Amino acid sequence: MPVKSGTQYRERIDAQSVPCWYKGNLITGKRSEHVAFAGLMETQMYMYDLQSDPKFAETMTYASPADGKPVGISFLPPTSADDLRKRREGMNIWANVHHGFLGRSPDYMNTAIMSFYTGADLLNEVSPQYAENLKNYYAYCRDHDITLSHAFIQPYASKISGQLDATEDAIAAKVVDRTEEGLIISGAFMMATQAATSDEIFVYPSPSPAPFDDENPFAFSFAVPNDLPGISLVCRDTYAAESHTNYPLSSRYEEMDNIVIFDRVLVPHERIFFAGSEEMSSRLFSGSNFHIHAGHQVLCRYIAKTEFVLGTIQLLTDTLDLNTEAHVIEKSARVFAGLESLKALALAAEAGAIPDGRGFVLPAPKPLMAANLLFPKLYPEMIEILQLLGSSGVIMIPQEEEFQSDIAPSLNVYLKGNDMASQERNALFRLIWELGSGSFGGRQTQFERFFFGNVLTVSNRLFSVYNKDQTNRQLVRDFLFNTSK
Amino acid sequence: MPVKSGTQYRERIDAQSVPCWYKGNLITGKRSEHVAFAGLMETQMYMYDLQSDPKFAETMTYASPADGKPVGISFLPPTSADDLRKRREGMNIWANVHHGFLGRSPDYMNTAIMSFYTGADLLNEVSPQYAENLKNYYAYCRDHDITLSHAFIQPYASKISGQLDATEDAIAAKVVDRTEEGLIISGAFMMATQAATSDEIFVYPSPSPAPFDDENPFAFSFAVPNDLPGISLVCRDTYAAESHTNYPLSSRYEEMDNIVIFDRVLVPHERIFFAGSEEMSSRLFSGSNFHIHAGHQVLCRYIAKTEFVLGTIQLLTDTLDLNTEAHVIEKSARVFAGLESLKALALAAEAGAIPDGRGFVLPAPKPLMAANLLFPKLYPEMIEILQLLGSSGVIMIPQEEEFQSDIAPSLNVYLKGNDMASQERNALFRLIWELGSGSFGGRQTQFERFFFGNVLTVSNRLFSVYNKDQTNRQLVRDFLFNTSK
Amino acid sequence: MPVKSGTQYRERIDAQSVPCWYKGNLITGKRSEHVAFAGLMETQMYMYDLQSDPKFAETMTYASPADGKPVGISFLPPTSADDLRKRREGMNIWANVHHGFLGRSPDYMNTAIMSFYTGADLLNEVSPQYAENLKNYYAYCRDHDITLSHAFIQPYASKISGQLDATEDAIAAKVVDRTEEGLIISGAFMMATQAATSDEIFVYPSPSPAPFDDENPFAFSFAVPNDLPGISLVCRDTYAAESHTNYPLSSRYEEMDNIVIFDRVLVPHERIFFAGSEEMSSRLFSGSNFHIHAGHQVLCRYIAKTEFVLGTIQLLTDTLDLNTEAHVIEKSARVFAGLESLKALALAAEAGAIPDGRGFVLPAPKPLMAANLLFPKLYPEMIEILQLLGSSGVIMIPQEEEFQSDIAPSLNVYLKGNDMASQERNALFRLIWELGSGSFGGRQTQFERFFFGNVLTVSNRLFSVYNKDQTNRQLVRDFLFNTSK
Amino acid sequence: MPVKSGTQYRERIDAQSVPCWYKGNLITGKRSEHVAFAGLMETQMYMYDLQSDPKFAETMTYASPADGKPVGISFLPPTSADDLRKRREGMNIWANVHHGFLGRSPDYMNTAIMSFYTGADLLNEVSPQYAENLKNYYAYCRDHDITLSHAFIQPYASKISGQLDATEDAIAAKVVDRTEEGLIISGAFMMATQAATSDEIFVYPSPSPAPFDDENPFAFSFAVPNDLPGISLVCRDTYAAESHTNYPLSSRYEEMDNIVIFDRVLVPHERIFFAGSEEMSSRLFSGSNFHIHAGHQVLCRYIAKTEFVLGTIQLLTDTLDLNTEAHVIEKSARVFAGLESLKALALAAEAGAIPDGRGFVLPAPKPLMAANLLFPKLYPEMIEILQLLGSSGVIMIPQEEEFQSDIAPSLNVYLKGNDMASQERNALFRLIWELGSGSFGGRQTQFERFFFGNVLTVSNRLFSVYNKDQTNRQLVRDFLFNTSK
């Protein structure tokens, strides 16, 4: 099967029967027509269609090893630096549609499942069947262009109970039973972004709350269709609205976040990637280099987003005629330098690609981890620049409907900008408001700050690859203690 | 006439006929029933009622010099340090209702008009009539408990045209004609907060865009009822919603901002405080010590708001069991130190009160100006602390309706906190979301950052009172050049 | 005995026989003539003389309860808010001599020993003799105007060994033996500032490295003359030089830091304040409110230092004609606001004085602890402002001798400033260099950053008094859960 | 002639007769034996010798186009990306000797004069002779391995007088006369680093203080031997000392800064590169791409220095056993990310090399300018990390002589570190003191902060190449106004 079309994407989601709670009610109609999902799904339909667009097909697809049909380039397991370049060029086409605002742009999870595929052989020592399951599932996703979401993080409460209670009472996700058909799972996961607009969900609980040497019921990973019996989704309130002019970003890019609840869900054996061993869980996770492969996709997204926000800052300083102000030059230069650093790190990640020891190629980890540390600071800094330069203009913005009303002539006089008509200026400030002050932007800032964990987690990842290296210490030791020089 | 009741407040606003545009339509029904205003007006009704509440009446009112009836304490022109204490104690009662979220709590504009009253005699040299007008208007506001808004800041476009065009084409607010009844005014003002929920509007354009020695049409000040012919209000979109649980802040404290448009409005002569002289405009403004008197009210508000946000941070760190984490202790201590500084500066402002040379007393300017510089940094810092500690919990929050639905039992299990039931915890996180990530909070941060101008404006105000003082320079000169020691 | 004269101060130090190592040699001559101590001692001689100067005597002294003779005001145990004021006014006279650069200005340790005196009765429950010893020692210091240093902090190595070894091998300071005359003590202390220019040393090891329930050899406190047998001092290199023009600060204020080594020193029983109980050690320390009483002295010093550095910044911006630059106004305003905050906190500390439960009065702890958190950030920030504004001018500065040489005429032409002759300008820049770039300034920055511990220690002290208070949390709980309002 | 030896370097400097003022006296003996220069000159002798060392000769030299003899690689005008690589590899050998502490490592000025050579043809339009002079001078420097310093920045006083006075009285550097032999120049320059340890000085005054259309006496450039009649050097005080253990950095890397005074110096015509035209001055400067070519050298130096300071931080956290502390991991990770960014930017600068339009190749300007913005923030941040982690250990450090004295046994016990003997630990802390608290380190921080100008200057350079690019603005315009998508 080849890459799917936008229409196929929509039809699959609309056909799902998973209970999805929104403001106390189950969503009953088509999800593609619900205000919380419609704009995003339209954007993703457009993105999926691009894969078959003759203009982009060659860059965005490659031939499936299964049947030679074109499949998404972000599924490609890289075996050379050139593969990394291909992956990047393909992913960038999507990034230029969503300008980095889709943290769960489908290539993210395509890359994720690909990364676990590269580590599948690690499972052989526990069970060849597990390895087989994971490989099969990857191929299934690739060849059916499955839209995936993921569930890694458990509610805070799981830590309280897990530390205090016996297994039976623990509320952390666990295997509660096993049958001939599969394992019975109960538990809940926070922040499954886009769960309601995906086909399936990939589950990989963070380290289990308690160490059980053998048959640890908290250690497992699997993937299932969203609408298996026992799965429920709970939504937060939506930040989306319909008008592209009033809400230019949320009307297109609002990704709903969900709590996913598993209530005695039967997961078929062939969808289990491992179970029972905490040690296997950590080994597969780190051995698959998830953060590195995904980090490459993420860095492409960071660059696209930085370019978009930078362009917004530039339009703002133009229309406020601020380009000769010292503080504006300094603030802008910080963003320019940030963008140059991200681009350079992407270059370095590919130029420094290394073999992973299992036949695949890894982008250089250090530059990617550096980018993972820099962007969560750069993004809020850019948003703060918009806030500081936009001042009260970020707040006092009429809606587009005023410009079709009897007060429009006055607004056209009073709201024009430097070389910008009032409606265009208003549209720009609506965008800045969404980025810098509205709920959509508020979530984006939180999302980027915690994308790969908090600053300590991300720092620790970089620290652990860096600090064992003695090179720089030796430099100083030689300087201090080697008096020959 | 004594202080008004909440009901009187509502009835006056509902009786207004000013055209008020919202999303392209004129608001037709009662404003007190419109979602954009209802919650706020209910809060303010409660606040006005407190003035007649026997429990608070003595603290919140004083006897009008006109008729001995109780009028609002924030109208009191201070003539002693004890008056400053009385003003503070009265204003704090309101601050403890709105917890600092109402930047236009009525005592703010009461204080503003009081400050201009203390400067009224400066107008005598231009015209005793002007001085009389201003004093009369102050007494009218005080004795009728008028709810005022203000219009100081003009659209960016006024600067473009004002610098380039002749007076006729300039779009900056100006006197376009004068008749026997009064002056005819056209122009527009940005960010008239609460204009739609006030009785009258006080207009005082910022320095005129062009220097006209005589009969400057851009230099004037006046106050009029909101619904004089020719006045229109334009709203931004509202951030308010009805549910106190889902939207604890915006359902109570959302202050609408308005653009106010004057289209050939006839302002009666007795409401003109001066006109024609840019020099008078600056002299009255600085001579009235607006920023200092208002700064005292504002500092009371800052303290109330800091206490509220600090309490929120503490509940968050409690429920996440973070009180032994080093970074939490450091972050919290920064907020504690900020609160202590604000309280100490309030103390210093009153302890250092000085005569204003016209029979009134001024709180010490330097501590107040220092507070004006500190809080616009402290507030965003506190909000960032909420964001950093709340992490994804600031985003993935169901609404209260879920807790009345069939999914409630699961949520009750999975969303509980450390010593906090799930619904209470959810309510706390809704609050944190509104503060740290939602549109209401986004506006609050902008509002505080620019309350008295941007950082340069506020710095300049402090710099100008401080830098002419030679004391500290002399200390160093003595040290360097006076070798006797 | 009354307060001592400068000459008496010098003579006592010069008479000491303690071995004092400097650059591998024992100092043999008079310390008052050694470049590392001469300038500082001259400054302190001047300070001691002021106490007998009729102009200041009344402010700087009070009548000793022992013999009615005038003793230093900083020894006064406050029993009223007015005593706090008196203490401050007296201490400020010294602060205005050393401009805050003497962290060990004698009033600091006078205050320290006074604070332990206020806690002496806590020792009664262990032994009335200990309480008596401490009270006697305080009276001795007060009546003999003893110049004290302190030794609290042990070398890093004491932690390593203390955790790993048995008591016998531990190198943490400990009681190694006891005789009829007293206890035999061995150990080392870091950063005993001014040990070499003090009469005696007060020793109070930080919490012992290992918990010993009974007869803990690591828990004790005592005070002894510097030159008991077995005591040695080790110096760092000095940053002092002679020329007041080239080195305006270090030539006057360079406080040497010492390592103090105790090698089987016999401490007489009457000088032991307690021994053997770790629990007593913590209880006396916190019960004596050392950080609060000393915090009051320290805040006076902070204010004096801020004023001096601020004056320096102002002279710099004057001579570089920078007072209209936006970034200079912002930077200066930050310092102004910092100074206002410190002054306000001092006011609040006295205004909020509380009884300590043992008949003495404590300045309010919270404002003082807030100041302890603010200044270690403000000071480096001020220094950075000097660096940023001074630019390369902070570096390329000739010495005063050039201005007496044949090249002087050229320098007089090329090095003049805005309204400042070249020699004066050079003197100013030498000062800025010492503050912002030289070794003396480098130590000052470190010293202020760590004066009362690192940022976590200081934060923790504030956190622990603040976080148990439920007031602000209750405010938010009422708001969220008390729906009556 | 081939590259020179270390001995040749020393002999040339020692042979110079330029009057050099130090602390009011002329230096009379050999400069290579004066404490202010000896250590540095020894380091540079070693560096020059490496060029002839068979191990490095091939990397560090290339064949002179004049005579085929080996000349320094940093003189090579790049005509391909591979040339950039060669230059980098050669320069890194020196950088690994001085670890980035020599801002005037000879390759810096070699690169500078090379960059002006690449722009020489721009002078043809004024005068082919000027172009010829510049090319000849470049070839002379290359083939004689001339050690150059530069003089660009004039004293602050030159601005005062230049703006106020007529040309005759102006003290800005100017042509005061012209003879058959050449131009007579008077004026002074600040911060000519290493002037006293260089052969010649390259002079290029910053934009002239006043606009003179024709025959502008303030616009010129030339290069001369240090010891032409009329040239004087003035030193600041030295931070150098002899002991490598006590002063590991300053004993090797202390670069003296000088004021250079020209008092009617006759500059021969063949050493004049242009004179009289301010417009030519700016055009040659920007057309030669000095900041870009030099930026490549500087980035190599930044990387070497970051590696060295990072190694120091790592040794410190090792010996204090801090590698599991959250704040240490975060601080270290910031440095790791900074180093990765610098390395990536160097890669990007070479990968993005572009033709300069005159037959040479330029490294990509944007990454280099980004690095110029990042490092002046990263360096002080690293130093602050050393200060914060080192705490009082940065201050209380005995000198090496103590370890040869009778107190050594005690120090060996008390000053050992985690897996580090006391003397080694002391040596490490002496290094940290020099970096983080001593005068040498203080100057380094200032030097890096202002290396290519203050933050506004450097920001402006980046802003000016970036902000004219419409790409990112167009992205946002398409998003906002192109509704087809």
Counting Cα atoms < 13 Å in the Cβ hemisphere of D150 gives 19
Could you report how far apart the first and last alpha carbons of chain A are, in Å?
A: 67
**CB within 8 Å: C347 and B351:** yes
Q: Give D325→chain B minimum CA distance, Å.
A: 10
Share the mean pLDDT of chain B. Answer: 94
pLDDT of residue D278: 86
pLDDT of residue B485: 47
Q: Give C352→chain B minimum CA distance, Å.
A: 10
Closest residue to B446, CB basis, from A153, A259, A437: A437
Over residues D409-437, the mean pLDDT reads: 95
- Chain A, 219 to 258: residues with Cβ < 8 Å from chain D are 244, 248
Which residues, other chains included, contact D223 with Cβ-Cβ below 8 Å and sequence gap of 6+?
A: D113, D137, D148, D200, D201, D202, D203, D271, D273
Query: Which H or E run contains A362?
Result: strand A361-362
Q: Does C484 touch chain B (CB under 8 A)?
A: no
Q: Which residue of C has its CA nearest to B470?
A: C311
pLDDT of residue D161: 63
DSSP-derived pairing of the beta strands C231-235 and C20-22: parallel
Q: Give B370→chain C minimum CA distance, Å.
A: 4
* Residue C49 burial (C-beta neighbours within 10 Å; 0-12, 13-18, 19+): middle
> Side chain identity at D349, as an amino acid letter?
A
**CB within 8 Å: B417 and A387:** no
CATH of domain B290-473: 1.20.140.10
Q: Which residues from chain D sit within 8 angstroms of residue B326, using beta carbons? A: 326-327
Query: Would you say the ipTM is above 0.85?
Result: yes
pLDDT of residue C210: 57
pLDDT digits (tens, 9 = 90+) for D208-246: 555 555 688 999 999 999 999 999 999 999 999 999 999
Q: DSSP state, C373? A: H
Which residues, other chains included, contact D213 with Cβ-Cβ below 8 Å and sequence gap of 6+?
A: none
Over residues D389-408, the mean pLDDT reads: 95
Global pTM reads 0.97
How many residue pairs from chains C and D have C-beta atoms closer than 8 A? Answer: 186
pLDDT of residue C118: 98
Q: Give A450→chain B minimum CA distance, Å.
A: 7
Helix runs in D288-438, H state only: 290-319, 326-351, 365-390, 408-414, 422-436
Q: Which residues from chain C sit within 8 angstroms of residue A326, using beta carbons? A: 326-327
The rounded distance, in Å, linking the Cα atoms of C293 and C289 is 6
pLDDT of residue A485: 47
pLDDT of residue D418: 86
For residue D336, how far is the Cα from the chain centroid? 24
Q: Which residue of D has its CA nearest to B325?
A: D326
pLDDT-above-70 percentage for chain B: 96
pLDDT digits (tens, 9 = 90+) for C35-56: 999 999 999 999 999 999 999 9
Could you report how far apart the first and last alpha carbons of chain C are, in Å?
A: 67
Q: Give D157→chain C minimum CA distance, Å.
A: 6
Kindly indicate whether the domain formed by B6-285 is annotated with CATH number 2.40.110.10: yes
Q: Give B53→chain A minimum CA distance, Å.
A: 36
What does residue D262 show for φ and ψ, rounded to 5 degrees?
Answer: -105, 115
DSSP of C94-107, one letter per residue?
A: HHHHHTT--TT-HH
- Confidence band, pLDDT 50/70/90 cuts, at residue C1: confident
pLDDT reading at C115 higher than 70: yes
Q: Give C344→chain B minimum CA distance, Å.
A: 5
- Confidence band, pLDDT 50/70/90 cuts, at residue C316: very high
In chain A, how long is the greatest CA-to-CA distance? 86
**CB within 8 Å: D480 and A424:** yes
Strand partners, A232: A261
The rounded distance, in Å, linking the Cα atoms of D78 and D97 is 24
pLDDT of residue D164: 46
Over residues C467-475, the mean pLDDT reads: 95
pLDDT higher at B398 or B482? B398
- For the beta sheet containing D25-26, the strands, ordered from the edge strand earlier in sequence to the opposite edge, are D25-26, D20-22, D231-235, D257-268, D182-193, D174-178
Q: Which residues from chain B sit within 8 angstroms of residue D328, using beta carbons? A: none
Share the mean pLDDT of chain D. Answer: 95
**With contact defined as beta carbons under 8 Å apart, do A194 and A255 qualify?**
yes
pLDDT reading at C234 higher than 90: yes
Which residues, other chains included, contact A449 with Cβ-Cβ below 8 Å and sequence gap of 6+?
A: A376, A379, A380, A455, B387, B388
pLDDT of residue C485: 47
**With contact defined as beta carbons under 8 Å apart, do A367 and A348 qualify?**
yes
- Pick out chain A residues at pLDDT < 70: 161-168, 207-214, 483-485
Q: Give A123→chain D minimum CA distance, Å.
A: 31
- Confidence band, pLDDT 50/70/90 cuts, at residue C442: very high
**CB within 8 Å: B454 and A417:** no
Q: Which residue of A has its CA nearest to C325?
A: A326
pLDDT reading at B154 higher than 90: yes
**With contact defined as beta carbons under 8 Å apart, do C179 and C272 qualify?**
no
- Candidates D472, B437, D466; CA nearest to A99 is D472
**CB within 8 Å: D454 and C415:** no
Q: Does B3 touch chain A (CB under 8 A)?
A: no
Query: Which chains share 3+ C-beta pairs under 8 angstroms with C?
Result: A, B, D
Q: Which residues of B232-243 are buried (b: 16+ CB within 10 A; e: fewer)?
A: bbbbbbbbbbee
pLDDT digits (tens, 9 = 90+) for B80-100: 999 999 999 999 999 999 999
Q: Does A441 touch chain B (CB under 8 A)?
A: yes
- The residue behind tokens 């907020």 is B335
Give whole-number Cα distances, B23 to A401, A402, A405, C103, D483, in Å: 5, 6, 9, 64, 21
Sign of the alpha-carbon dihedral angle for C409, C414, C418, C424: negative
Q: Which residues from chain A sit within 8 angstroms of residue C326, using beta carbons? A: 326-327
pLDDT digits (tens, 9 = 90+) for D171-190: 899 999 999 999 999 999 99
- The H helix count followed by the E strand count for chain B is 17, 14
Q: Which residue of C has its CA nearest to D437?
A: C442
Q: Give D465→chain A minimum CA distance, Å.
A: 10
- What token pair was written down for A5? 């079309």
Kindly indicate whether the domain formed by D6-287 is annotated with CATH number 3.60.110.10: no
- Candidates D292, D272, D298; CA nearest to D126 is D272
- Residue to mutate among A97, A480, A484, with most D CBs inside 10 A, is A480
pLDDT reading at D5 higher than 70: yes
The rounded distance, in Å, linking the Cα atoms of A419 and A414 is 13
pLDDT reading at B123 higher than 50: yes
- What token pair was written down for D414? 């008390």
pLDDT higher at C169 or C328? C328
Q: Which residues from chain B sit within 8 angstroms of residue A398, using beta carbons? A: 21, 234-236, 259
Q: Give C302→chain A minimum CA distance, Å.
A: 31
- The residue behind tokens 């440095």 is D335
**CB within 8 Å: A398 and B234:** yes
What does residue C162 show for φ and ψ, rounded to 5 degrees?
Answer: -60, -35
- The residue behind tokens 């107040």 is B368
pLDDT-above-70 percentage for chain C: 96
The rounded distance, in Å, linking the Cα atoms of A21 and A260 is 10
Q: Does D336 touch chain A (CB under 8 A)?
A: yes
- Confidence band, pLDDT 50/70/90 cuts, at residue B164: very low
Query: Which chains share 3+ C-beta pairs under 8 angstroms with B?
Result: A, C, D
Which residues, other chains included, contact D197 with Cβ-Cβ below 8 Å and sequence gap of 6+?
A: D13, D31, D37, D40, D41, D44, D147, D255, D256
Helix runs in C99-155, H state only: 106-118, 128-144
pLDDT of residue C207: 63
**With contact defined as beta carbons under 8 Å apart, do C81 and C350 qualify?**
yes
- Chain A, 32 to 91: residues with Cβ < 8 Å from chain B are none
Q: Which residue of C has its CA nearest to B468?
A: C314
pLDDT of residue D103: 97
Q: Which residues from chain A sit within 8 angstroms of residue B320, using beta carbons? A: 156
Q: Which residues from chain B sit within 8 angstroms of residue D327, using beta carbons? A: 326-327
- The residue behind tokens 């508020």 is A442
Q: Give A429→chain B minimum CA distance, Å.
A: 12
**CB within 8 Å: C334 and B373:** yes
pLDDT digits (tens, 9 = 90+) for D263-293: 999 999 999 999 998 889 999 999 999 999 9
Q: DSSP state, A102? A: -
**With contact defined as beta carbons under 8 Å apart, do D396 and C156 qualify?**
no
What does residue B480 show for φ and ψ, rounded to 5 degrees?
Answer: -80, -40
Q: Does D327 touch chain B (CB under 8 A)?
A: yes
The rounded distance, in Å, linking the Cα atoms of C328 and D160 is 19
Domains of chain D, by residue range, sit at 6-287, 290-473
- The residue behind tokens 């206890």 is C183
- The H helix count followed by the E strand count for chain C is 17, 14
Q: Does D466 touch chain A (CB under 8 A)?
A: yes
- Confidence band, pLDDT 50/70/90 cuts, at residue D191: confident
Q: Which residues from chain A sit within 8 angstroms of residue C327, using beta carbons? A: 326-327
Q: Which residues from chain C sit within 8 angstroms of residue B307, using beta carbons? A: 471-472, 475
Q: Which residues from chain D sit within 8 angstroms of residue C442, using beta carbons? A: 436-439, 441-442
- Chain C, 369 to 428: residues with Cβ < 8 Å from chain B are 369-370, 373-374, 424, 427-428
pLDDT digits (tens, 9 = 90+) for D466-480: 999 999 999 999 999
Closest residue to B155, CB basis, from A24, A415, A441: A415
Strand partners, B235: B258
Q: Which residues from chain B sit within 8 angstroms of residue C421, using beta carbons? A: none
- Residue to mutate among B42, B454, B461, B472, with most C CBs inside 10 A, is B472
pLDDT reading at D159 higher than 70: yes
